[in-house]
């Protein structure tokens, strides 16, 4: 397995249980022609 990878830490604990850190990984398979992976935008709220 390649070391080339992208990590994000998430929390996936059950209610009432201590939440643990869990990984959400996007392993790079091929050269990326420019796709961007990012959190969905928080929309602006006007007041």
Closest by CA position to 27, among listed 37, 17, 18, 14 = 37
8: which DSSP letter?
Answer: E
Contact between 32 and another protein (CB under 8 A)? yes
Cα–Cα distance between 21 and 42 in angstroms, integer?
A: 23
User: At closest approach, how far in Å is the CB of 44 from another protein?
Assistant: 7
Residue 20: both structure tokens together: 């643990």
Q: Which of 12, 17, 18, 19 binds another protein (CB under 8 A)?
A: 12
Q: Say whether residue 18 binds another protein (CB under 8 A).
A: no
Should residue 1 be labelled a site residue for another protein when binding is judged by CB under 8 A?
Answer: no
Binding status of residue 9 toward another protein by CB under 8 A: yes
């Amino acid at each position: 397995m390649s070391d080339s990878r992208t990590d994000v830490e998430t929390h996936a604990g059950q209610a009432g249980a201590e939440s643990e850190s869990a990984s959400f990984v996007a392993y790079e398979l091929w050269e990326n022609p420019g796709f961007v992976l990012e959190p969905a935008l928080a929309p602006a709220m006007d007041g």
